[in-house]
Structure 1
Amino acid sequence: MFEFRKADNDANIMEDIYRLRYKVYCDEWGFEEPEDHPHGIETDEYDNHSVHFAAFREDDGSLIGTVRLIQSSDLGLPMLKHCALDIDTSAFKDSIVGEISRLAISKELRRRGPDKALYDDGIRELEEENIPISVKERRKNENAIVLGLYRCLYKESLEKGITHWYAVMARGLYLLLKKISIIPRQIGPEVNYHGLRAPYLLDLVQIMDYLKEKNPCLYHHFKD
């Protein structure tokens, strides 16, 4: 149902990505102030130091999801500016670290009301029974988009020699990843940053070793 692509070299796709981010981060959730992002486009200083990925519907080619991988630069990584960490980051001086950021899924494919998870605290269990078929179908599609985008991030990281990811996540996204055996390590307390979020670290070697044991189907999907 979905196609995933690196988007950096296509100006039209990048504009669509910025507009989707505006809808999600400004219009729908209020994480960013609309007046700070004129013309319905949400962008920041890290975009020029990031690799961007996009998810499209196969039937009509419409953009329905995006994420970016921020690379090290003179700007640093945003998580280190907004979160207090419980680890010594100097331990990664010989590693290449990127930051996962600006995950945005079209409202059409996201869960709404009390079943929302990606941008909220995920108090409601993801495996909950007795939910409508329509909600289960949206959940399945949303999860497929998240996984497809993370697969793009993994492939890009292999090519660039990136060994670790930082990410600032809502509890709901953490639970979604944990459910499929991708278990980020929380490395600091929650902060109010685009909602209540906590900083996480993902060691790609450890993640893939754990996936190989616990979820071999997903492991081979990522490796193929």
Structure 2
Amino acid sequence: MQKSLAENFQRYFTVELAAEEALKREIFHTRFNVYCKEFEYESIEHFVEEQESDEFDIYSFHCLIRHKESRQVAGCVRLVPADLNKQDMILPFEKYCIDSLDIKFIEELKLNRATLCEISRLAVDGAFRRRSNEALDRFGNVQQLAFADEERRVFPLIAVSAFLASTSLTMLTGRTNVFAMMEPFLPRLLKRSGIVFHRAGCDVDYHGIRAPYFITTQSVLDNMKPELKELYDAINARICAEYRSCCTSDAV
């Protein structure tokens, strides 16, 4: 019997809420590998401890996707909520990409800032993006991880699962009006599953060519195809349990 999308993904990967500092450090190191070493979006010299982090990480919610067999972080993402305690605190896309925004489109949405967030720093480790015939990485280093063909077929779901994890967090935090600066591939990939983003501006060179997009959590949940909904439900169940556990621990 053919396994579902969710079953195939969960066979090889887990999705975790990174509330502990040790887990966040794993995420920051993965981001360093992707953003600094591989794509050179940020200077290596700025992160001597190989931890790519910025001022938004302190109050963001972080998730990681872990490869079960190797225990390696395959991908990560963060949700940055609009900070209501600091009225002058802007979201990353407002700070770095303001000139690319369609201000009229955003103003016509008439959004309550208390419901805003940005999904950002979505990264997939290079080892989980390469084809089976690529034995070397872009630096000429031999790849240490060996994957079965069945595993590789699941690799495109890593970025999707990161988005689904952040979608779960939008519900938990009440930040259901969502912005993201995305490379062209991700909106196209998600559109195949029924998730349609609205462009909120023009292309800009920010960590590669990206554009601002907007979507509501309700639109995501209402329109995703059943097979992806099964994967979302599995991810959401875990994120919800870990989120409640963190809230309980903080209250003690």
Structure 1 letter corresponding to 2:35: Y
Q: Does 1:96 align with 2:115?
A: yes
* Alignment correspondent of 2:13: 2
Structure 2 letter corresponding to 1:193: Y
Residues 82 and 113 in structure 2, CA contact (< 8 A), matched pair in contact too? no
* Alignment correspondent of 1:109: 128
- Specify which of 181, 185, 191 is matched with residue 178 of structure 1: 191
How far apart, in 2, do the equivalents of 1:15 and 1:51 lie? 13
Q: Name the Cα RMSD after superposition.
A: 2.3
Residues 195 and 219 in structure 2, CA contact (< 8 A), matched pair in contact too? no
Structure 1 letter corresponding to 2:101: L
- Specify which of 31, 47, 54 is matched with residue 64 of structure 2: 54
Q: Does 1:85 align with 2:101?
A: yes
Residues 167 and 200 in structure 1, CA contact (< 8 A), matched pair in contact too? yes
Structure 1 letter corresponding to 2:161: G
Note the C-alpha offset of 1:200: 0.2
Structure 1 letter corresponding to 2:93: M
Note the C-alpha offset of 1:201: 0.3
TM-score, normalising length: structure 2: 0.72
Q: Which runs of 5+ in 2 are unaligned?
A: 1-11, 132-147, 235-252
Note the C-alpha offset of 1:199: 0.3
Note the C-alpha offset of 1:63: 1.4
Note the C-alpha offset of 1:94: 6.0
Aligned length: 200
What does the per-residue CA deviation read over 1:164-222, in whole Å, with 9 as the maximum and x for residues that have no partner? 111001111222112222111111010111111100001111222222xxx12223432
Q: Does 1:161 align with 2:180?
A: no
Q: Does 1:11 align with 2:21?
A: yes
Residues 95 and 164 in structure 1, CA contact (< 8 A), matched pair in contact too? no
Identity of aligned residues (%): 29
Note the C-alpha offset of 1:47: 0.2
Note the C-alpha offset of 1:36: 1.9
* Alignment correspondent of 1:25: 35
Structure 2 letter corresponding to 1:164: N
How far apart, in 2, do the equivalents of 1:136 and 1:187 lie? 37
Structure 2 letter corresponding to 1:154: T
Structure 2 letter corresponding to 1:107: G
Residues 188 and 198 in structure 1, CA contact (< 8 A), matched pair in contact too? yes
With over 3 angstroms needed to count, the CA separation of the structure-2 counterparts of 1:100 and 1:223, relative to structure 1, is same
Structure 2 letter corresponding to 1:221: L
How far apart, in 2, do the equivalents of 1:220 and 1:108 lie? 26
3-state SS in 2 of match to 1:43:
coil
3-state SS in 1 of match to 2:154:
helix
* Alignment correspondent of 2:3: none
Residues 82 and 114 in structure 2, CA contact (< 8 A), matched pair in contact too? no
Residues 67 and 104 in structure 1, CA contact (< 8 A), matched pair in contact too? yes
3-state SS in 1 of match to 2:159:
helix
Note the C-alpha offset of 1:88: 3.1
Q: Which runs of 5+ in 1 are unaligned?
A: 113-133
Structure 2 letter corresponding to 1:152: A
How far apart, in 1, do the equivalents of 2:150 and 2:185 lie? 16
What does the per-residue CA deviation read over 1:126-175, in whole Å, with 9 as the maximum and x for residues that have no partner? xxxxxxxx88963x322221232222212221111121111001111222
- Specify which of 128, 134, 146 is matched with residue 159 of structure 2: 146
TM-score, normalising length: structure 1: 0.81
User: Which of structures 1 and 2 has the bigger CA Rg?
Assistant: 2
Note the C-alpha offset of 1:95: 5.5
3-state SS in 2 of match to 1:44:
coil
